[in-house]
Amino acid sequence: MYEGVVQDLIDELGRLPGVGPKSAQRIAFHLLGADPVDIGRLQEVLGKVKEGVQFCEICGNVSEQANCRICRDTRRDLSLICVVEEPKDVLAVERTREFKGRYHVLGGSLDPLSGIGPEQLRMRELLARIGGEEVKEVIIATDPNTEGEATATYLVRMLRDFPGLTVTRLASGLPMGGDLEFADELTLGRALSGRRAL
């Protein structure tokens, strides 16, 4: 539609997730009028990403050094591991300020249709950690959807024979601040079956 560089830019931006043709056009015209210094910064950081981002050797989270900030933190409880799918899930759990253990980032969830089996996830590394460290509890915090539940089931089967290890799963139920009326059947069903004595 446009000529030359402008169309190339719109095409490249349109390939990013969540950026439709209209957004791509809007961002492109913003960049055409932007300070070259700003464009340079974006270009530079893309270069660094292209060279590769480092992942923590222990937990698999994105990291600046060989071990991430959380794994380096000596105040963390080494007996607790929270297993999550992605680095962004680490951030979500950290925001609660409720968890003082360490993490294990699987790098996704089991999805056989997309060719993602246990070998594509960091399962072996988790086994090695539980074998080598003094872990007492593994909290499975995969997403509460089909793939996340399948991954949780797989993890439970893999870990249940470790002596002295407790395997737990995040509670499912009504979201806080939500409305009973608007809860879907599945969530309300989970909330019922997981009811607690007061």
Which stretches of the chain bind a second copy, using CB under 8 A? 1-6, 8-9, 12-13, 15-19, 23, 25-27, 29-32, 36, 38-43, 45-50, 53-54, 62-64, 68-69, 86-88, 91
Q: Tell me how far apart the alpha carbons of residues 75 and 107 are, in angstroms, rounded to a whole number.
A: 25
Distances (CA, A) of 58 to 74, 83, 191: 14, 12, 35
CB of 75 to a second copy, least distance (A): 18
Structure token pair of residue 172: 């499912």
Residue 72 or 100: the one with the smaller Cβ distance to a second copy is: 72
Residue 59 or 130: the one with the smaller Cβ distance to a second copy is: 59
Q: Tell me how far apart the alpha carbons of residues 109 and 83 are, in angstroms, rounded to a whole number.
A: 11
Residue 96 or 193: the one with the smaller Cβ distance to a second copy is: 96
CB of 175 to a second copy, least distance (A): 17
Structure token pair of residue 185: 């059947």
Residue 73 or 194: the one with the smaller Cβ distance to a second copy is: 73
CB of 21 to a second copy, least distance (A): 11
Strand partners, 62: 55
Residue type, 26: R
